[in-house]
Structure 1
Amino acid sequence: MVAYLQVEDLTKSFGELLLFEKISFGIAQGQRVGLIAKNGSGKTTLLNILAGREGYDEGRITYRNDIRVGYLEQSPHYPEDLSVIEACFYHGNAVVDLIREYEKCMETPGNPGLDRLLAQMEQEKAWDYERKAKQILSQLKIHDFSQKVKFLSGGQLKRVALANVLITEPDFLILDEPTNHLDLDMVEWLEEYLGRNSVTLLMVTHDRYFLDRVCSEIIEIDNRQIYGYKGNYSYYLEKRQERIDATNAEIARANNLYRTELEWMRRMPQARGHKARYREEAFYDLEKVARQRTYDASVKLDVKASYIGSKIFEAEHLCKSFGDLKILDDFSYIFSRYEKMGIVGNNGTGKSTFIKILMGIEKPDSGKLEIGETVRFGYYSQDGLKFDEQMKVIDVVTDIAEVIELGNGKRLTASQFLQHFLFTPETQHSYVYKLSGGEKRRLYLCTVLMRNPNFLVLDEPTNDLDIVTLQVLEEYLQNFKGCVIVVSHDRYFMDKVVDHLLVFNGQGDIRDFPGNYSDYREWKEAKAEHDKAAEKPKEEKVKYVRQDTRRRMTFKEKREFEQLEKEIAELEAEKKAIEDALCSGTLGVDELTEKSKRLPLLNDELDEKSMRWLELSEIENP
């Protein structure tokens, strides 16, 4: 394989904070590599270094000559006066420069040099380039190509930056959290897009389904070192555990031997022979291994939830609109005790607005919302990340509580609680401004959970959290003795946590689905196939022409004709009942599957009997 990138002995630190030390790895043509590490371990820093946006202390980075590298930053920036389509072509290539020159020519009176530019545009197939850019933007739900960048939300800007990277068709693609701010349809489109293109890829993402389906290799930064795994995310989990077990066993052996050698060091006189000096040097090497922390592969958090009564919340005939956009249209729902609900839907369908109405931040246009007296909300919002940057991490937590009750007489100190969320003692006494974006998100999550809520409302909790933290949070929510509502585009997270879904289809159309996201996706695909099968016979229906020469219907045919009329009416009634049930959102997964299998058979039987009825209707009835 042709080597595209080679990294040798790379070291990077910020003051006293050492992110990684003498790490080496390579990426060859066609490889699709996922980069995994805890927040604060240097994932984004490493990508910035590889993209030439940041310096490093030691080492060497070598790219193959003449390869084109595309980089999607975690937080992209563009000049505010650019339009969406101009931003899409920003930092482009020769074709982009040609398109920009053509557009400038068209805006200049007299269009100087237009003939030459038209010929070049044709030769470089620049027309296709612009069409492709608009096509990708449309897939990412960006439709106003003339809108100024300064009016875009952070999520829209990230999608424009993604389009910018994809249309240049680089040889080597570096992506930092590409699925953030994408709805589920967009994530699945991007999966398919990367799957059918032969681009070489290095990617950081917390979306484990996306990682599993797109990447065939994993590299991990852990304890300032790098480890490689020749397989997808599922393979990585298995082999990482084997590595952790082996490391823990090595540390345990070193500790046992260290005690013996320490006693020898204390007994021996200062003047030592050659063998003794060799043993002394070996002792210091052994000491380094023995002093390593063992890996805690089973980090668990079990915070006590406050008591919650039988009345949670009841929504009665809620309506909410913004102009012509309907969010809620006569929505009613009674929330059950210990219910775990997921909310899914495309961006702009009203998921976050619904949450804000529940939390009392937004008011409905009409309707009533009653909250139970015992309900204590814990709200993790997309815009709730506000800290005093000059405070220490431990002080942020102790300002809320110095001790966290776990129930059954157990309690955690603020420091112990932070360790459950992977904040080392050193990090706890560091200032908030020194934390990475993901570490700040993790700290914010700690401040929500430590207040002992009994009803958690989590709006996009998975954005910017590392995979290890997500695993801790998933297990916590699975065992949580309270109610949960989760809005998330992370399919793996939803599958692990929720019991059922509220599906926001837009314009106030909200359906309740009994199952997790994978169940819902499977049902959607089955329904699409059945709808397609139901439409097909209508397109292929044979037209029967009444013949001139007519015969009279026999007694047997007359009885068959009358029986067919009854059977067709019964089949049509059954078909309507199944279609209504499939659209109701009240069926269990087994019932959905059973009815979905019955529908195409029912259509075939109905078409067969209808055709026979048509044949008989052409015969003169005595």
Structure 2
Amino acid sequence: MAGKRKEEQVRLNVKAAYLGSKIVEATYVSKAYGDLVLLDQFYYNMARYEKVGIVGRNGTGKSTFLRMLMGEEQPDSGRFDIGETVSFAYYSQAGLAFNEQMKVIDVVRDVAEEISLGDGKKLSASQFLQHFLFTPETQHNYVHKLSGGEKRRLYLCTVLMRNPNFLVLDEPTNDLDILTLNILEDYLKHFKGCVLVVSHDRYFMDKIVDHLLVFEGAGKVRDFPGNYTQYRHWRDKQEDDARKQKDATKETRKAKQGIPSIVQPEASPDKPKKLSYKEQRELEALEAAIEALETEKAAIETALSSGTCPGNEIEQHAKRLSVLAVELEEKSDRWLSLQL
């Protein structure tokens, strides 16, 4: 057990570079491609150690915003003021063009030989790779022998090995396998720096961020103080209220025109939704099931992070985690629909 705790501590307590009080200030940034407006006078001042999620429909400017922040594109107007102590590391959708003839270990050593854990302790490039599931044998494979998923995992290692204090992640859940995502979740939860992440994965976002920038289109960005699930709950309620307001307006117009309206019995909007006996039983069962699934998921993650699982068990755990993620998503969605 002591060995397990030590293993987890080594992986999660990577010491980020010092981060001062001035982080990033986006000052009235605007960006458009012809008639497609992505940002319109956007202002945001990022706080120290803040972990922010970026969500929105495809084509609303999320990735463009990250590229402008990283200096890969220029805004039409406005600017990004970046603090002197900020050290970025950027995981992009484009990825990294590896030298296919290099060995895995040499790719990471080209970034850094070791990474600081604080208190004078260091983690070598090889040890770091092991924590991200590259065995000592695999580390001496040539890059061209890696699968697509392994290359994305190696790319992630090169990003994190830079020892940044500000991580920028563009859709990491699209390319990484479930085991790597669980390791990344642990890393980010204990990361002593800022995080800006674009993702459509609600479960991943709920674990990492508690603040959202919602790209709504036409240059509008909503600053939402909550996680992804809370935002969806709020958005669904706003849409429901808007429908009720529209119906009420129609009824008012009919009344003024002397058209009789058909009154539909409806629960008061000020009162919580009243569930039927069957729905109440379903809600209780869902809550118990979600708790059981989350407990099982946490147990598997703990087993994987111990570093002592045999290869055949790792494969079984990976398959089970994929199933658990789907079941949690489905049951959480149903739970939310009963609550609204």
2:97 is aligned with 1:386: yes
Deviation at 1:398, TM superposition (A): 1.3
TM alignment of 1:225-264, pairs within 5 A: none
Aligned to 1:439: 150
Q: Which residue of 1 aligns with 2:177?
A: 466
- State the SS of the aligned residue for 2:66: helix
Q: Which of 1, 22, 25 is the equivalent residue of 1:311? A: 22
Query: Do the aligned residues in 1 keep the contact of 2:12 with 2:190 (CA within 8 Å)?
Result: no
Return the alpha-carbon distance in structure 2 between the equivalents of residues 485 and 368 of structure 1. Answer: 18
Q: Verify: 1:512 aligned to 2:199, yes or no.
A: no
Q: Provide the rounded CA distance (Å) in 2 between the counterparts of 1:504 and 1:424.
A: 40
Q: Which of structures 1 and 2 has the bigger CA Rg?
A: 1
Q: Secondary structure at the match of 2:111?
A: coil
Give unmatched runs, 5+ long, in structure 1. 1-244, 246-295, 547-595, 599-622
Q: Distance in 2 between matches of 1:396 and 1:322?
A: 37
Higher relative contact order (CA 8 A, sep 6+): 2
Contact 1:301–1:472 (CA under 8 A) maintained in structure 2:
no
Give the aligned residue type for 1:519: Q
Question: What is the DSSP-based 3-state SS (H/G/I as helix, E as strand, rest coil) of the residue aligned with 1:395?
Answer: helix
Asked whether the equivalents of residues 380 and 459 of structure 1 are also in contact (C-alpha less than 8 Å), the reply is yes
User: 1:332 and 2:30 equivalent?
Assistant: no
TM-score normalized with structure 2 length: 0.71
Q: Which amino acid aligns with 1:469?
A: T
Alignment equivalent of 1:428, drawn from 139, 158, 179: 139
SS at match of 1:319: strand
For 1:10-89, list aligned pairs within 5 A: none
Q: How does 1:557-572 map to 2 (within 5 A)?
A: none
2:127 is the counterpart of 1:448: no
TM-score computed with the length of structure 1 as normaliser: 0.40
1:299 to partner: Cα distance? 8.7
Contact map agreement 2:171 2:198 (CA 8 A) in 1: yes
Give the one of 255, 280, 286 matched to 1:543: 255
Instruction: Extract unaligned runs of 5+ from structure 2.
Output: 2-6, 259-268, 272-340
Runs of 4 or more, structure 1, over 4 Å off, are 296-299
What CA distance in whole angstroms lies between the structure 1 residues aligned with 2:270 and 2:130? Answer: 50
- Give 1:457's aligned amino acid: V
Aligned counterpart, 2:88: 377
Match of 1:475 among 186, 191, 197: 186
Letter aligned with residue 444 of structure 1 = Y
Residue 540 of structure 1: how far off its partner (Å): 2.5
Matched, 1:484 2:199: no
Q: 1:534 to 1:417 in 2, by over 3 A?
A: same
Match of 2:233 among 522, 527, 532: 522
Q: Which residue of 2 aligns with 1:412?
A: 123
Distance 1:518 1:391, change over 3 A: same
Sequence identity (%): 66
Kept in 1, the 8 Å contact 2:95–2:152? The answer is: no
Alignment-derived partner of residue 325 in structure 2? none
Q: Map Cα deviations across residues 8-28 of structure 1 (whole Å, 9 max, x no partner).
A: xxxxxxxxxxxxxxxxxxxxx
Report the CA distance between 1:442 and its aligned residue.
Answer: 0.7
Q: Distance in 2 between matches of 1:298 and 1:491?
A: 27
Q: Quick one: structure 1 residues 424 and 412, their matched pair in 2 at CA, closer, same or farther if it must change by over 3 Å?
A: same
Q: Which residue of 2 aligns with 1:350?
A: 61
Number of corresponding residues = 257
Match of 1:364 in 2: 75
RMSD of aligned Cα (Å): 2.3
Map of 2:208 onto structure 1: 497
